[in-house]
Structure 1
Amino acid sequence: MRKVNIPILTLLISITIGIVLYDYIKIQAITVWICSILLSLTGVLLNTFSRKKIIGSALFMCCTSALFITIGYLSRTYTDDTRSQTHYTHTNTEGSHTLLVKINRELKPTLYQHKYLVDLKAIDSTITTGKLLLNIYKDSATILPKTGEWWYARTALLPVPHPKNPYQFDYGAYLNKQEIYRQVSAKPQEMLRANKETYDVSVWASRFRESVKNSLHLQSFTPRQLAVIEALVLGQRQGIDKEMSSQYAAAGMMHILAVSGLHVGVILLILRFLFGFIKWRQLQWVKSLLIISLIWSFAIITGLSPSVLRAATMFSFLEVGELLGGKRKSQDAVLASAIFLLLLDPLLIYQVGFQLSYLAVIAILWVQPWLASFWSPEVFILRKLRDVVSVTIAAQLGVMPLSLFYFHQFPGLFIISNVLIIPFLGLILGGGLLVCFLSVTDLLPEFIAQTYGGTIDVMNNYIAWVAGQEDFVARHISVSATLMILVYMFMITTHLLCMKYSKRRLIVASLATIILTGFIVLENNQPASQHLAILNRNASTTLTQLQEKQLTVFNNDTLYLTYTDSRVKAYQDALKIDTVVQKSHGNYFRFKRKEILIVDSLDIYNLEEANPDYVILTHSPKINMNRLIERYPNCTIVADGSNYHSYVSRWKATCTKQKIPFHSTYEKGAFIID
């Protein structure tokens, strides 16, 4: 492990702290500017008069760190869209309005809707700014919007979706981190194209990708082959279905389908090979300039997505770093590229792809050489095999704690899948670029298309086989943010100790091990509180009862299966649940001395000696709410997602009038009984 550039690392950490602080502490920009100026002056004085003193050096480092914390805070301040007075969050957006939006990017569609990221330009002829999520209901006759086009939509601005069941992924919070605070849903007939269109590099790239996709669809490729080619070469994952996505994730090869650092890195290696004939020292800058220009050309063609943007920036810095001073400068360049990107777009710090890509590259640069040093074969093929295995292990070690925190699973056969595919990824990606070029110029021979399509099939089948080895895929692994940080501390201190033994490193590594072990023991001895939850689920009633390490799922639907329910999976991922049991529920039962009555479409609720604390309405019973309240005046009424919305609205109005507690899972999410 090469020595880390502590000053650059300190600056990166300080800027990150400043960016994160902005979301928790609001301070006026002028106050932060004053602090920055004072810290700068203090730093100059410390550097001038205390240059050779240890205390002075420590104070200078603290002062510099504080300065860059303020810089990170200011960068987040001035990139916050909501600071603009024209932002829609400062406007009354209740009810329907005529919206004018510009299409920025097409997102992956759902089963019923096309999705787009758009810029809001006006509300009812009033100039307005901000990002929105646009959902257009699918229609076979719909003319879909294209990137750069301006469209009118007559609809309402709605809150972004938040989870309605325990422990589910908070998509709304994810959108908020991208400064998307509202969404709009429209039918095709509610959309009208405006006589305006924006033309820029991203629009040109989008049109180019569309032409390439259209030309590929005229070839003899199968849908699954097309899906992989479009994802691999063009960065378009709309054709990747849920099954294929799950297979690649289980095999530890999801990075193949997302154009990111891996692809840009492969492109960098291909370009270095192609321009390897330029060996004159005076022309090395020309060589690097050509490589960087082609890397950015690939980034633009694939859509300049955040993952590609950061990868192109990182590898551009990497190329310049190697040109200036070899491997050591390359490591510094990676950290410098992260600082550069965060100052330009502070919200990148919240993107999982940004975190994973940098951790993977850092682990490869600092850990891979140490792993490779354990074996030095003389045979060329064995050396290359060693390099692939060591790079794969280093990258997985770097991202493993973070991956477990976000995705709750670990592919045990990642080495097998990566060792056989990564060495050929250059040929696969290069072949894909060649196929796309020949296809768009109408020069693609049929035998090349069939050969490349067959190669994609072999890769898909191999990935499917690896993913099918269920015993080697560890699922439902719960890792908290604190545990993730402690694991990284343990890994770093242990690796430093293995690199070079010293008493100080032994003490630090031992302390990290003790803290990690103690936290794991403490966390395992604090099980989640027992509760009963009435989940929000359309057309079906589902209740979950958590007791210690067992989750009991109540559902009377004979076709219902717990392992296909994402709500159950969320419980398993979050709480380390050992056992899931499926049962049918009765119409009257108890939980922790609380009595619960379920009223379904049979409308039976007038039970003798019944005194329920909660009445759950399911499957739209045709009841008289006033009579129900008169029969059980002290109950709380819960309507789950299986009821008609019109019924729920009527029940809610009656309960509000009668001052009876009412909860709709469709509006408020799952109802929890502790």
Structure 2
Amino acid sequence: MFVYVLRTAPFLQIVIPFMAGIIWPFPLLYVIPVAFFLLVLHVGIGCMPVWLRFRLDAYRGVILQLLLVCLGSLLVDAKEKHKHRLINPAPDQVLAGTVIVPVQSSQYGYRTIIALETKEQLLIYFPPDSAVMAIQEGDKLLFNGQVQSISFSGNPGAFNYRAYCASRYIYQQVHLQMGHWRHMPMPRSFLLRCRNSCLRIINTYIGGREAGLAAALLIGYRYGLDKEIENDYMQTGIVHIIAISGMHLALIYACLIWCLQWIPIPAVKGLLVIVVIWGFTLLTGASASVLRAAVMLTVVTIGKFFLDRESSTYNQLALSAFLLLCYDPGLIKDIGFQLSYLAVSGILLLYKPLYDLLLFKSYWKRKLWEATALAIAAQAITFPLCLYLFGQFPLYFLPANLLAVPLSTLILYGEMLLLCVQHRWLGMCLQWLLTLMNSIVAWIGHLPGALISGLQISVYGVVALYICIAAILAGRKGMIWMLAALCLWRLAILPGHLKRQQQQLMIVYNQPRHTGIDFIQGHVVQFVGDDSISTGILRTARAFYEVDTGRLTAFEQLGHFICCGNKRLVIVDSALPAGRATKKFKTDYLLLSHNPHVAIKDLQGFFEVGCYIFDASSSRSRIQEWKSECYALTLRFLSVPDQGAYVVNF
């Protein structure tokens, strides 16, 4: 089957080595001379006599593949040099930038993203201030503040927000103080005016919580989406419905073909389809999955209406990936890009074999089985990657898809009609349909066992699962490969399991305004700290280290004095007693939490400390004072809010 796909999709032979060069780029020092040598070699073989050229033809193919690997490496280097630029402005320097993301609420107040005049992007945090809500996309912002690297909690197993921002070429952030910024409204672009017009119509005729979902469905505007609703859709595995994806573009494409069937000239019809498709893509923000669908549909449209021919879907998929990666090789790290291409590949590879398993005479049963096979095919091929990235699996994804996808399709077409007619009764009908869909999704999401979480697999596990899927497609011949992949997976994770049995760790978690410490020995963990600390943080970290709560044999606690194994920890969360100690208490770690009014030099009169730890329960200003004292006294310290969760072996 793989050979047949390669023959019908020549662009696969181009995009595979090209992607390899992007994923594993070679240093520029080696790429340029190697690429030059390969190019000379390829041209040299092409200039040889025909009989000799024919013999060396296979080698020319290998040389071309290697040249594509070098091209991928060169593009990565060029893009990184263009994008990866850090700024270091003077303390009194005023920066100017354009707001490129709507203002959203955050734990610090509000946040947005701006693009500086030199093209670098910054994450901006505002203090709670009603004036911030007047800032809109496209506006100018003048500000003065300390530019820092983007923070990362560092909690074991937690989502790496710093890496997520880096994949979007955002490396720095600014926490603005009150009065240190100025808002300059600017004229709106055509696309922004169109989007704001759509939002105004949706809010006027639908309104309420449903308006946020309607905006997400129609134009991918998720900033007004209710968090509880979003969580329900994530728990049921149908978040692709509220995130503009290829499904939405395919529905719009089908609607366009039906609406424009009266146009007699194919080229005019094709041109209109392409203009609308790309206009909608730009309107929705041009996410990776939408770009993939837009390029594929453009290729289909050109072939159908301009060239009067059809091409392989595999070839269209490979061509769209090649063009998008040429535009931005960093897209290969985008989760939406990965899941979008995997889902389409799964449908192409698995849908037909699944559909052929059952045959129904009834029209409605056939349609139901088509939708079922489609959902299973997409889920099966994305399952290993989702398990690796998110560590969870929605158990009821199939009924959720079967119920929500038809409803969302009806709602999407209804919203497109609402933009044209703007009728109150249509808005009321759409609001009722949205409420119905939300109720169904919420009910499914709250069923027992709806979301299986805490699943952790390694890269070896992902590779093994994909080999198993390929082996199933190969039939009986693939069973040996499946068994071999599962055995190798087990052997690959065995050293990790053995290491877990011997692990001895102390983890100081990073959660603002809270203190939390886990002591781990083997597969047992014991907690010390605030009971109100996030259970999600603890659950993720404990799943990462494969531990369960219990009582450690080598653990002793007397008030704020803790001894675990051969390490001592003292927690200071209040003022020190008056006077000086007759003898200093020796401790490996001293943890300052909840803003105690103490000075480092005073602590030295009571304790002999190996390392000071400042956790996230204290204010940044107090931590800055302690850091300055430690610098002056040349003491060892670690700031959890600045450096992330502290994980140490003992």
| Alpha-carbon distance between aligned partners in 2 of 1:292 and 1:43, rounded to the nearest angstrom | 42
Residue of structure 2 aligned with 1:383, choices 357, 363, 366: 366
Kept in 2, the 8 Å contact 1:637–1:662? The answer is: yes
| Alpha-carbon distance between aligned partners in 2 of 1:367 and 1:306, rounded to the nearest angstrom | 23
Corresponding residue for residue 203 of structure 2: 217
Counterpart AA for 1:444: H
Residue of structure 2 aligned with 1:205, choices 188, 191, 207: 191
What is the DSSP-based 3-state SS (H/G/I as helix, E as strand, rest coil) of the residue aligned with 2:141? strand
Corresponding residue for residue 512 of structure 1: 485
Corresponding residue for residue 294 of structure 1: 276
- Stretches of structure 1 lacking an aligned partner (at least 5 in a row): 122-127
Corresponding residue for residue 370 of structure 1: 353
Counterpart AA for 1:650: E
Corresponding residue for residue 350 of structure 1: 333
Distance 1:568 1:43, change over 3 A: farther
> C-alpha displacement at 1:321, in angstroms?
5.7
> C-alpha displacement at 1:28, in angstroms?
7.7
- What aligned pairs does 1:218-617 form with structure 2 within 5 A after superposition? 218-219=204-205, 221-222=207-208, 224-275=209-260, 286-320=268-302, 329-438=312-421, 443-445=422-424, 447-496=425-474, 498=475, 501-502=476-477, 505-527=478-500, 529-557=503-531, 560=532, 564-579=534-549, 586-603=559-576, 610-617=585-592
Corresponding residue for residue 129 of structure 2: 139
Counterpart AA for 2:538: V
- What aligned pairs does 1:54-69 form with structure 2 within 5 A after superposition? 56=56, 58-69=58-69
- Stretches of structure 2 lacking an aligned partner (at least 5 in a row): none
> C-alpha displacement at 1:41, in angstroms?
2.3
Spell out, residue by residue over 1:80-105, the C-alpha distance to the aligned partner (whole angstroms, 9 max, x if none): 3547xxx853x542524211212233
- Count of residue pairs the alignment pairs up: 639
Kept in 2, the 8 Å contact 1:476–1:576? The answer is: no
Spell out, residue by residue over 1:247-295, the C-alpha distance to the aligned partner (whole angstroms, 9 max, x if none): 11111111111111121122223334445677x8xx5555444433332
| Alpha-carbon distance between aligned partners in 2 of 1:298 and 1:378, rounded to the nearest angstrom | 39
| Alpha-carbon distance between aligned partners in 2 of 1:100 and 1:655, rounded to the nearest angstrom | 35
Normalising by structure 2, report the TM-score. 0.89
Normalising by structure 1, report the TM-score. 0.86
| Alpha-carbon distance between aligned partners in 1 of 2:313 and 2:438, rounded to the nearest angstrom | 34
What is the DSSP-based 3-state SS (H/G/I as helix, E as strand, rest coil) of the residue aligned with 1:673? strand
Spell out, residue by residue over 1:377-421, the C-alpha distance to the aligned partner (whole angstroms, 9 max, x if none): 122111111110111000001111111111111001101111122
> C-alpha displacement at 1:227, in angstroms?
1.2
Matched, 1:117 2:107: no
| Alpha-carbon distance between aligned partners in 2 of 1:168 and 1:607, rounded to the nearest angstrom | 44
Spell out, residue by residue over 1:446-494, the C-alpha distance to the aligned partner (whole angstroms, 9 max, x if none): x222211010001001100111024132101112223212221221133
| Alpha-carbon distance between aligned partners in 2 of 1:328 and 1:72, rounded to the nearest angstrom | 25
Distance 1:45 1:403, change over 3 A: farther
Counterpart AA for 1:571: A
What is the DSSP-based 3-state SS (H/G/I as helix, E as strand, rest coil) of the residue aligned with 1:27? helix
> C-alpha displacement at 1:218, in angstroms?
2.8
Matched, 1:80 2:84: no
Spell out, residue by residue over 1:343-368, the C-alpha distance to the aligned partner (whole angstroms, 9 max, x if none): 11111111000000000001101211
Counterpart AA for 1:539: R
Kept in 2, the 8 Å contact 1:234–1:301? The answer is: yes
Kept in 2, the 8 Å contact 1:477–1:576? The answer is: no
What is the DSSP-based 3-state SS (H/G/I as helix, E as strand, rest coil) of the residue aligned with 2:145? strand
Corresponding residue for residue 124 of structure 1: none
What is the DSSP-based 3-state SS (H/G/I as helix, E as strand, rest coil) of the residue aligned with 2:207? coil
Kept in 2, the 8 Å contact 1:46–1:59? The answer is: no
Kept in 1, the 8 Å contact 2:560–2:570? The answer is: yes
| Alpha-carbon distance between aligned partners in 2 of 1:641 and 1:47, rounded to the nearest angstrom | 73
